[in-house]
Amino acid sequence: MADDDKKTAKTEEEKEEGFDLEAALDGVRQATKTVKIYLDADAADKAFQLNGALLEARANAKDGVEQVMSIAEEASTVRLERELKEAIAALDEQAMTFRLRALASKEMDVIRNVVVNKVKAPRNQNEEAANEFRRERQGVLNEYFLSHAVIDVTFRGKKRTGLSLDDAKKLHETLPATEWDRLTETFLEAQAALDAMRQVMADPTFRWALSDDAE
């Protein structure tokens, strides 16, 4: 029997006696991460300022600095806590929750190749221009990554599945810089989750934190 015939026969035998590799791989689940992205920078600043004021008021009350109020008056800690709750509610009203997954190595390679071929570096750049080009290309790369990594987006109780490349570009153009960075960092955290597990499992000294009785 030829070598190819032997390999084919062996594969068929493994399917019958062992398991279906393709079916098993259908169960692969990439790491996922969720992040809430805030759209209203002014609302975020207001909530942050109120939070600081409330912490200060509580510290003063604890130290006996806060004045005794009449029944008709409202203690500053009570007022600030109420205002902070309202500010947080307003902040959450203008927030999107993104659920992202890590991308398989093949997906990452394909996307990188597409972007490298699409966004080509000009020749004879000085160092400053080269650094700026790398930042721009990384931004484009992040748009492509997110268009593949976003599982769904929730806004005001409504959910939509996936994210188009045009949507990712719009987010990049519109979101406050800090929120765009948080979104891309969450994607990188999903990717890093796999790397961290790989590194841990490769460590010969690693042991699961189980008692002897639980093993």
Three-state DSSP at 180 gives helix
Query: pLDDT tens digits, the chain, 215 residues: what are they?
Result: 555 555 555 555 555 567 787 777 776 677 899 999 999 999 999 999 999 999 988 887 766 555 555 444 457 888 899 999 999 999 999 999 999 999 988 999 999 999 999 988 888 888 888 889 999 999 999 999 999 999 999 999 999 999 999 999 999 999 999 999 999 999 999 988 766 666 666 677 777 777 665 54
Phi, psi of 36 (to 5 degrees): -100, 125
> In the prediction, which pLDDT does 4 show?
59
> In the prediction, which pLDDT does 198 show?
64
> In the prediction, which pLDDT does 100 show?
96
Amino acid of residue 108: M
> In the prediction, which pLDDT does 126 show?
87
Its pTM stands at 0.72
Residues contacting residue 184 through CB under 8 Å, at least 6 positions apart: 142, 145, 146
> In the prediction, which pLDDT does 2 show?
58
> In the prediction, which pLDDT does 71 show?
41
Q: How many CB atoms lie within 10 A of CB 124?
A: 5
Rama region for 98: left / alpha / beta (φ>0; ψ in -120 to 50; rest): beta
Q: Give the DSSP per-residue string, 55-100.
A: HHHHHHHHTT-SPPPPTTS--HHHHHHHHHHHHHHHHHHTEEEEEE
Asked whether the beta carbons of 83 and 52 are under 8 A apart, the reply is no
Q: How far apart are CA 53 and CA 78, in angstroms?
A: 12
> In the prediction, which pLDDT does 157 show?
92
Phi, psi of 161 (to 5 degrees): -90, 135
